[in-house]
A = this chain, B = another copy of it.
């Protein structure tokens, strides 16, 4: 029934039941869907799904925002309804014919409207490797072990997986940062960043706070994120206010939101705490998400044979997304349904666990390749086990559009 991805097992088994937004030839208006194996189920076509009128109306929308805002028990009735249907008949033949399409027949759309996007810096390995690559010295930002450091990202350029990204234009140092001419033209150091993101479900009012221990109650689910990075543009612009145009050309989101329920049994211990933690960031027990993440690059230069650049795991991060949610909230800005919070590059300790190309540029590595070339396709995948995975997050880099 299902197609294995990237050498892993099945991603969309009965334990997953992810949510997305799709359209197809006879139904061009995007609406909310789930997936079992290679079958995409259009939820608003299921007459007996729920007696809750508002819930049915939410699933007929072109984004998951309304559904994500529902209380978890209502969301669970939908999950259970689909799981019961699968248990009764794995071929789904009892469902209305127009409710089930093969994945190859549908077009996936961005699953949510994102009102605010914050990208954090959760992996200590990434921070140290990036510092070494950029400054020649391994270092850790002063507040790294006190809180998840982050910056606000651009919402207008978040795309669903499959959408190409154009190489951006911008100003950058011609050669050595701080010590060469500043020139203008297409980015010469285009990079990806392997990230895990979460989508806010139940909103949090302005000036309301939530403890990291309880923050997953506000998370609807998780996605893979490629935070495309123009390293040369970023290097020039980020002193002292952080990245802007270097991160704005595109952010790719995987089409399927994997719910907190699906991931509940894939939790593990986080890395050991380096110091005492402030109350709102404390967590007990196994709160790190145990998802194996992989990066492959297919290049037109070698017949598009995928080259695996990284096999990492989201559990290696010092901070998890519940802690990011608690930290974002403590400042009083509130959280809205559909908000995206992302981990920053997920990198592990070894050279085979670098979640971006920048990390390979550090003096202690021998880079296996340079930055991205036009026409290359970057594919992320995430797999938890037992029929639960993220599928893929894919995008091809296209040449800069001329002025």
Using CB atoms and an 8 Å cutoff, list the residues of chain A in contact with chain B: 115-116, 118, 121, 141-143, 146-147, 149-157, 166, 168-171, 178, 182, 184, 206-207, 209, 230, 233, 236-246, 248-250, 278-280, 327-328, 330-336, 339, 401, 403
Contacts and interface: CB of A to CB of B under 8 A. Distances in A.
A242 B245 contact: no
Given A143-B236, A156-B333, A249-B333, 8 more contacts: A115-B115, A143-B171, A151-B151, A157-B334, A166-B332, A170-B330, A184-B280, A245-B328
Nearest to A121: B241
A116 B249 contact: no
A403 B238 CA distance: 33
A217 B178 CA distance: 35
A140 B349 CA distance: 37
A335 B157 CA distance: 9
27 contacts: A115-B156, A116-B154, A116-B156, A142-B236, A143-B237, A146-B171, A146-B182, A149-B237, A149-B244, A150-B241, A151-B152, A151-B241, A156-B339, A168-B331, A169-B209, A169-B330, A184-B278, A230-B331, A241-B242, A244-B328, A244-B331, A245-B330, A248-B328, A248-B332, A248-B333, A249-B331, A249-B332
B166 A207 contact: yes
A342 B328 CA distance: 22
- Interface majority SS on A: helix, strand, loop or mixed? loop
Contacts of A236: 142-143, 146
Nearest to A278: B184
Contacts of A151: 151-152, 241-242, 244
A280, A332, A401 pick with most chain B CB within 10 angstroms: A332
Nearest to A279: B184
Contacts of A401: 207, 332
Given A169-B209, A207-B166, A327 B240 contact: no
A403 B209 contact: yes
